[in-house]
Amino acid sequence: MKEEDSFWKSAHISPGGGAWVSFWNDCWWPGMILKDAYPRVAAASMFQEAWVSNIVSFESEGVGWDLQLSISLRGGAERERLSLLHYLSLLPLDLITTGPAKLIWNSCSNGGFSVKSMYDTLNNARFHGIIDFPCKVIWQPFVPMKVNAFLWLLRHGRVLTHENLKRRGWSLASMCLLCKAAEENINHLFWSCPFSCSIWNVLQQMVEITGPLHADVAAIIDGWNIHTQVDWKRRFVRGIFHAFTWEIWRERNSRTFHDKSRHWRVIFHKICRTILTWVLASGVLNDDQQVEWLSQMNHLCPLVALRDARSSGFPGFQEEG
């Protein structure tokens, strides 16, 4: 289930007078979209995009519903139609009013919306395996918001690689500018490209990650659940895929828009500096933990020293030009 579907499990539209509210496609009754609940009747409708106000009529004996079907239904479809009319007859008389349509948020008693209630709803659905919402892996508090947002887009396949641009109608000759040996798509760019693999292999040795070995970036992100008892390493590991994909994307853009390219070893050191800066700037480590963390970092990657972090903006995060 997508986040959008989960959203409509938690909200509905109060139709008011019914104008601008789609009879078949909008969720104007809690937890139900009529097109999904009554598919055979919806398919027989002459006006798939009809507003509620096109279907409802106010008569002396009450509210009437003209479904405007193009054919006479039989069998199961007819029973479905009768069920829908029965359902409509049960709607509260004051549901259709002369006022404007309103969005009603089911999780709050006053019908208002809050981001926290939306987050709780999505997280609860994720916990029960109802939706695909890998928030715990992606939204890391010590990682800059723009990088978290980038990984979120990457997880949902929305990063504008050549493949995605072609899906949007762009006509272009696709070529990965990191290796110049394959077409550019998300799985190639961030995982199977030799340039990216060279970097990842060294990072993997540094933090002793033994997996994951999927060929699919979305599966890698979802499965990113590596445990360690060492605090500095846990933070490093949590942010490493953020830094890795972020710097790969920046290098790809540098080559695409500025015709500037750097060796993979340079990108590797940039990734190490980026993670170091994030962790230090977040202030989440006390002095002793910082000393331990820097000691371990310098041991694992001698070219990354504290002065590098300071020169790139320590203690606050500052992106290099």
Interacting residues with Zn ion (CB under 5 A): 176, 178-179, 193
Segment holding 54, helix H or strand E = helix 52-55
Residue with Cβ nearer Zn ion (176 or 285):
176
Burial of 66 from C-beta contacts in 10 A (0-12 / 13-18 / 19+): exposed
Closest distance to Zn ion from the beta carbon of 259 (Å): 17
Residue with Cβ nearer Zn ion (178 or 243):
178
DSSP string, 29-50: BTTB-HHHHSHHHHHTBS-TT-
Closest distance to Zn ion from the beta carbon of 188 (Å): 6
3-state secondary structure of 321: coil
The answer for residues whose C-beta is within 8 angstroms of residue 133's C-beta and 6 or more apart is 3, 6, 122, 123, 125, 126
Residue with Cβ nearer Zn ion (267 or 309):
267
Q: How far apart are CA 12 and CA 86, in angstroms?
A: 20
Residue with Cβ nearer Zn ion (179 or 226):
179
Closest distance to Zn ion from the beta carbon of 247 (Å): 15
Residue with Cβ nearer Zn ion (22 or 161):
161
Residue with Cβ nearer Zn ion (164 or 312):
164
Closest distance to Zn ion from the beta carbon of 177 (Å): 8
* Inter-residue contact 256 to 180 (CB < 8 Å): no
Residue with Cβ nearer Zn ion (46 or 175):
175
Closest distance to Zn ion from the beta carbon of 265 (Å): 17
Q: How far apart are CA 250 and CA 256, in angstroms?
A: 10
The answer for residues whose C-beta is within 8 angstroms of residue 313's C-beta and 6 or more apart is 277, 281, 319
* Inter-residue contact 140 to 281 (CB < 8 Å): no
Distances (CA, A) of 313 to 133, 148, 248, 273: 33, 19, 21, 11
Closest distance to Zn ion from the beta carbon of 181 (Å): 6
Closest distance to Zn ion from the beta carbon of 260 (Å): 17
Q: How far apart are CA 164 and CA 161, in angstroms?
A: 5
